[in-house]
């Protein structure tokens, strides 16, 4: 096979675990190299991820058409009621707007859409070009808010002004403006907000039920199946439970500072981490031992159902190797554990946006020989997948064709998944999906398996 | 609607660089490169992947704040250097984005500078630059801009050759394969551009290909100026924007402009032209295809007669499809496009002289909310267009027949035929079956025979 090298300037973002734990840190949290085919998106994408599931608000992308067209109904974030988030609104800037400014078009668009859809709020995303032509979207938002009486929130997400993480922050900033504006009356002391859970394929509902079975009140889910009114009263909760990646930690921090609400980080993937996320919440209410009792009850009931089911998959999958490349590093930890519980090892672990601590922890967790990458690209991913003889790739839509081309199984663990992978039932779905992909007989025809004629 | 709408709701178009990237993928050993921010490239890759189900690498110069302030020259140069090192391409297809266009980067100048700095003896990839700001036009404009820029960059002067340039427009990989088959059967050498029949619909790989195999070689494109004729499938493309137009002006290559050959009449025109160019009759195989199609029209005519349809998509596709639907007796109620060439109606009238008498509505520059508003009033039997009409199809309970790009919610969009007798046959079969299925679903007894 032809030799594939690592792109110059990226060497420090790739690491292979050999002979114990190395001390030097992996380089990360940098912007992508020009000319590399990064799997990352942009600031706007980060904001869109976080705010998208708010279903009773309209989301207007201020810019030329592409940014809105490519994100129309793109995620599997489901709503139990209104579905305004599934529509795509754009100011669709034309040449004249670029020359003379798009403020007027934005204003008219807002007025017209608010009148037509009667949303509870509006989010206005500024894209790259708006950052250049210098529209004062804050002023427009203020004006429209005053005229329509609903919150109209600017989200400064110009694609080039940072990375996806900055987009998360911009979104959290907009949410922070809503939080604290609603009444907290009647909220129980044993209450939480679920942060960083976007209700993909209904996952937030699954998680919410577990907490409710423990006697916990869920004040607000940010932002899965999100409603503006629920966001407004989120400051009434006693604890913020933040899932995974960095997407919403900044909001949790801000809420801690402003409202004194502590937060914990959890993950809902895999038996181990899912159980821990219930216990950790229970631990927060020590004066209510019944909550811990209930948590144990939930875990034992669920695991009793799940465990025997998993054995069948484990039997088939033991010894198979997986490569993981997902958005946030936190999810990688859970996936490594989840894969181990079905007999699989991990030969490549990477993320688009991990930080130094994440990678340090990854290094500790991983087996000898595992490759760890930050902000990788298709060439590199393929190189390691083949070299390490992976049987499975876990990633998002952009990684899927790489896996299938090379003739290996694939599991979509990104924002577009259609099957819930969180919670105990999600672990079952995950194992099933991995099993169905890895064990498929179609790979016998793959060149990798000698299927070339 | 009381007043003119301002915001675009559920757009019926995509942005220019997407079309450009697709076209560049039809050149052998070429990497598409977007000069702008990372997000655009990633979104476009993701979008193309959902239709073609192939790995699609698109590099980006990855703008930052400084690039926005001081210009993107540095990023572009570093980007080109990195892409060259990583992909070893023969060609780099550079498309600008809204961002670099607004800043006003002088890309040709940057490219010259780059070439001067890095040449030092070793061969450089050929760099093709297409200007594709999305605040002008839509994805189809980007597609044509890339094809034209490619020809402008590569075509050379020389002695006439027995060669025809074929500019097929944004058709499916299956359509491209069919075209190549036709030219082979006519024994007519052909320079097909772009040709992503393999790069966007290829086989499995034993090793990773930085650039997938397939595509038209740059050396073949160089001959475009020596060809005896160019054929282009388009109805609305201005001469000043077309590759065939350029070749005619610069090298005197006669240009034959046909609408996309969908339906018998338009396909006939294409085959007639090939007969003229080769001075030989079409191979018997195509007579057979045509005969089978005529036979199928007869077998299926009652199902489709006066069925009412709303049609949407790129303007050229809409024009060709309308002509086809009219020749099988169907009634397009609305011909709609997100594109805005200003020529849609005129081109339609040329093919369907009784367009206005028939009450066929034509609308350019629409979005899916406009189409949905029309659908509520017009109440068509079904919709014909790309997958993006699914939302309105589901909401209003009107079946959708999927053609063109993108097909995101069905399997095999890249393998769907649209053009020639073969493509028309496939479309006709699907239309008839859609009607039959509708009848079956509506029937209280559920027919088992037709
Ligand atoms: S900025 Fe322009 S090029 Fe980029 S996605 Fe938006 S419309 Fe397309
Ligand atoms: S224009 Fe900017 S905001 Fe829009 S997709 Fe491209 S990088 Fe992202």
A413-427 pLDDT tens trace: 887 788 999 999 999
The predicted structure's pLDDT at residue A237: 97
The closest CB to that of B55, out of A31, A41, A405, belongs to A405
Q: In B203-254, at which residue ranges do the beta strands (DSSP E only) sit?
A: 229-233
Phi, psi of B358, deg, nearest 5: -70, -10
The predicted structure's pLDDT at residue B1: 45
**Set of chain B residues whose Cβ sits within 8 Å of the Cβ of A400:** 49, 53
Buried b / exposed e over B2-20, threshold 16 CB at 10 Å, is: eeebbbbbbbbbbbbbbbb
Binary contact (B134, A66; C-beta < 8 A): yes
In what side-by-side order are the strands of the sheet with A57-62?
A: A152-156, A121-126, A57-62, A89-90, B8-9
Tell whether ligand 2 has an atom less than 6 A from the beta carbon of residue B43.
Answer: yes
One DSSP character per residue, B89-106 reads -SEEEEEE-HHHHHHT--
Q: How far is the CA of B77 from the centre of ligand 1 (A)?
A: 21
The predicted structure's pLDDT at residue A453: 63
Which of A65, A125, A133, A157 to probe ligand 1 with, by most ligand atoms within 8 A of CB? A65
Residue B366 and residue B10: Cα distance in Å, rounded?
A: 10
- Bridge partners (DSSP) of residue A154 are A124
Tell whether ligand 1 has an atom less than 6 A from the beta carbon of residue A67.
Answer: yes
Tokens in use for A93?
């800037």
Mean confidence (pLDDT) of chain A? 90
In what side-by-side order are the strands of the sheet with B382-385?
A: B361-363, B331-336, B308-312, B382-385, B400-402
Tell whether ligand 1 has an atom less than 6 A from the beta carbon of residue B15.
Answer: yes
Tell whether ligand 1 has an atom less than 6 A from the beta carbon of residue A447.
Answer: no
More confident site: A352 or A214: A214
Whether A102 and A128 have beta carbons less than 8 Å apart is answered as no
Q: Which residue, by CA, sits nearest to atom 2 of ligand 2?
A: A159
Whether A279 and A303 have beta carbons less than 8 Å apart is answered as no
- B198 to chain A, any CB pair closer than 8 A? The answer is no
Is a pLDDT exceeding 90 seen at residue A365?
A: no
Residue B30 and residue B59: Cα distance in Å, rounded?
A: 11
The predicted structure's pLDDT at residue A17: 67
From B262, B388, B269, B389, select the one nearest B330 (Cα to Cα).
B262
Q: Nearest chain A Cα to B340, which residue?
A: A94
Closest atom of ligand 2 to B37 CA is: 7
Binary contact (A133, B102; C-beta < 8 A): yes
- A113 to chain B, any CB pair closer than 8 A? The answer is yes
Give the number of other Cβ atoms within 10 Å of residue A38's Cβ: 23
Whether A95 and B136 have beta carbons less than 8 Å apart is answered as yes
The predicted structure's pLDDT at residue A245: 64
Phi, psi of A353, deg, nearest 5: -135, 25
From A1, A15, A5, select the one nearest A372 (Cα to Cα).
A15
Residue B54 and residue B202: Cα distance in Å, rounded?
A: 8
Residue B447 and residue A189: Cα distance in Å, rounded?
A: 63
Vertex A264 angle, CA A262 and A270, to 5°: 160
Query: CB-based contacts of B238: which residues, under 8 Å, 6+ apart?
Result: B245, B341
Q: Nearest chain B Cα to A450, which residue?
A: B206
From A421, A415, A419, select the one nearest A73 (Cα to Cα).
A415
Q: pLDDT in tens for each of the 450 residues of chain B?
A: 445 689 999 999 999 999 999 999 999 999 999 999 989 999 999 999 999 999 999 999 988 888 878 889 999 999 999 999 889 999 999 999 999 999 999 999 999 999 888 877 677 999 999 999 989 999 999 999 999 999 999 999 999 999 999 999 999 999 999 999 999 999 999 999 999 999 999 999 988 888 999 999 999 999 999 999 999 999 999 999 999 999 999 999 999 999 999 999 999 999 999 999 999 999 999 999 999 999 999 999 999 999 999 999 999 999 999 999 999 999 999 999 999 999 999 999 999 999 999 999 999 999 999 999 999 999 999 999 999 999 999 999 999 999 999 999 999 999 999 999 999 999 999 999 999 998 888 888 877 776
Whether B251 and B225 have beta carbons less than 8 Å apart is answered as yes
Q: How far is the CA of B65 from the centre of ligand 2 (A)?
A: 13
Residue A437 and residue A413: Cα distance in Å, rounded?
A: 13
The closest CB to that of A379, out of B18, B75, B210, belongs to B210
Q: Which residue, by CA, sits nearest to atom 3 of ligand 1?
A: B97
pLDDT in tens, A52-106: 999 999 999 999 999 999 999 988 899 999 999 999 999 999 999 999 999 999 9
**Set of chain B residues whose Cβ sits within 8 Å of the Cβ of A128:** 36-37, 39-40, 63, 68, 97-99
Residue B306 and residue B326: Cα distance in Å, rounded?
A: 9
From B381, B240, B205, select the one nearest B303 (Cα to Cα).
B381
Tell whether ligand 1 has an atom less than 6 A from the beta carbon of residue A64.
Answer: yes
| DSSP 3-state of A194 | strand
pTM of the model: 0.94
Q: In B201-252, at which residue ranges do the beta strands (DSSP E only) sit?
A: 229-233
């Amino acid at each position: 096979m032809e030799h594939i090298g690592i792109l110059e300037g990226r060497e420090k973002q790739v690491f292979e675990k050999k002979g114990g734990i190395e001390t030097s840190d992996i380089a990360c949290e940098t912007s992508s190299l020009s000319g590399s085919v990064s799997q990352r998106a942009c600031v706007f994408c980060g904001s869109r991820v976080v705010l998208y599931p708010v279903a009773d608000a309209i989301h207007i992308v201020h810019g030329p058409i592409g940014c809105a067209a490519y994100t129309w109904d793109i995620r599997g974030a489901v709503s139990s009621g209104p579905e305004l988030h599934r529509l795509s609104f754009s100011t669709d800037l034309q040449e004249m707007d670029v020359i003379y400014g798009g403020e007027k078009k934005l204003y008219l668009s807002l007025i017209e859409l608010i009148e037509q859809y009667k949303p509870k709020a509006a989010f206005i995303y500024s894209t790259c070009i708006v950052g250049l032509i210098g529209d004062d979207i804050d002023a427009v938002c203020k004006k429209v808010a005053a005229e329509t009486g609903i919150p109209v929130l600017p989200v400064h997400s110009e694609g080039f002004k940072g990375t996806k993480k900055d987009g998360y922050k911009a979104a959290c900033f907009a949410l922070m403006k809503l939080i604290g504006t609603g009444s907290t009356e009647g909220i129980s002391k044993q209450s939480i907000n679920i942060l960083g859970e976007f209700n993909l394929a209904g996952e937030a509902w699954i998680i919410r039920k577990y907490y409710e079975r423990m006697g916990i009140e869920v004040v607000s889910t940010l932002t899965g199946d999100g409603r503006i009114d629920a966001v407004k009263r989120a400051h009434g909760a006693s604890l913020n439970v933040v899932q995974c990646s960095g997407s919403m930690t900044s909001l949790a921090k801000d809420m801690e500072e402003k409202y004194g609400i502590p937060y914990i980080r959890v993950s809902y993937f895999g038996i181990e981490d899912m159980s821990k996320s219930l216990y950790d919440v229970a631990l927060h209410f020590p004066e209510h031992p019944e909550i811990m009792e209930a948590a144990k009850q939930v875990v034992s009931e669920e695991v009793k159902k799940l465990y025997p089911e998993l054995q069948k998959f484990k039997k088939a999958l033991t010894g198979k190797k997986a490569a993981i490349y997902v958005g946030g590093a936190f999810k990688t930890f859970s996936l490594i554990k989840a894969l181990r519980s079905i007999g699989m090892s991990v030969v490549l672990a990477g993320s688009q946006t991990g930080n130094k601590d994440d990678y340090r922890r990854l290094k500790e967790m991983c087996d000898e020989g595992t490759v760890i990458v930050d902000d990788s690209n298709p060439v590199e991913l393929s190189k390691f997948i083949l070299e390490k003889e992976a049987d499975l790739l876990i990633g998002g839509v952009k990684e899927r064709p790489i896996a299938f081309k090379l003739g290996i199984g694939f599991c979509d663990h990104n924002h577009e998944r259609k099957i819930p992978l969180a919670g105990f039932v999600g672990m079952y779905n995950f194992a099933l999906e991995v099993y169905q992909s890895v064990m498929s007989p179609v790979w016998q025809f793959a060149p990798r398996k000698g299927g070339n004629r | 609607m009381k007043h003119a709408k301002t915001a675009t709701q559920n757009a019926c178009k995509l942005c220019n660089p997407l079309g450009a990237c697709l076209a560049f993928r039809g050149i052998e050993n070429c990497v598409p490169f977007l000069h702008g921010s990372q997000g655009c490239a990633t979104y476009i890759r993701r979008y193309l992947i959902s239709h073609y189900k192939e790995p699609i690498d698109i590099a980006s110069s990855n703008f930052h704040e400084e690039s926005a302030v001081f210009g993107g020259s540095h990023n572009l140069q570093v980007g080109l250097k990195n892409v060259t090192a990583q992909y070893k391409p023969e060609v780099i297809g550079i498309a600008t984005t809204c961002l670099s266009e607004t800043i006003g980067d002088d890309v040709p100048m940057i490219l010259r500078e780059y070439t001067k700095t890095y040449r030092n003896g070793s061969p450089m990839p050929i760099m093709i630059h297409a200007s594709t700001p999305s605040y002008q036009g839509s994805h189809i404009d980007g597609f044509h801009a890339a094809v034209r820029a490619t020809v402008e960059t590569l075509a050379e002067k020389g002695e006439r050759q027995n060669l025809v340039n074929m500019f097929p427009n944004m058709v499916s990989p299956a359509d491209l394969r069919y075209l190549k088959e036709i030219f082979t059967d006519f024994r007519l050498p052909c320079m097909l551009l772009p040709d992503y029949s393999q790069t966007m619909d290829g086989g499995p790989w034993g090793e990773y290909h930085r650039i997938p195999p397939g595509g038209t070689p740059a050396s073949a494109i160089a001959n475009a100026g020596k060809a005896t004729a160019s054929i282009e499938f388009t109805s609305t493309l201005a001469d000043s924007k077309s590759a065939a137009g350029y070749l005619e002006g610069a090298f005197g290559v006669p240009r034959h402009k046909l609408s996309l050959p969908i339906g018998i009449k338009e396909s006939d025109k294409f085959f007639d032209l090939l007969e003229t160019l080769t001075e030989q009759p079409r191979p018997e195989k195509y007579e057979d295809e045509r005969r089978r199609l005529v036979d199928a029209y007869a077998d299926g005519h009652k199902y489709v007669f006066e069925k009412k349809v709303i049609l949407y998509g790129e303007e050229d596709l809409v024009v060709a499809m309308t002509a086809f639907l009219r020749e099988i007796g169907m009634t397009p109620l609305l011909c709609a496009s997100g594109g805005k060439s200003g020529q849609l109606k005129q081109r339609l009238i040329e093919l369907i002289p009784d367009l206005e008498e028939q009450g066929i509505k034509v609308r350019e520059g629409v979005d899916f909310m406009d189409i949905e508003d029309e659908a509520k009033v017009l109440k068509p039997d079904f919709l014909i267009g790309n997958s993006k009409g699914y939302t309105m199809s589901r909401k209003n309970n009107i079946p959708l027949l999927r053609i063109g790009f993108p097909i995101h919610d069905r399997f095999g969009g890249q393998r769907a035929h649209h053009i020639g007798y073969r493509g028309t046959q496939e479309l006709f079969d699907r239309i008839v079956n859609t009607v039959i299925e509708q009848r079956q679903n509506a029937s209280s007894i559920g027919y088992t025979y037709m």
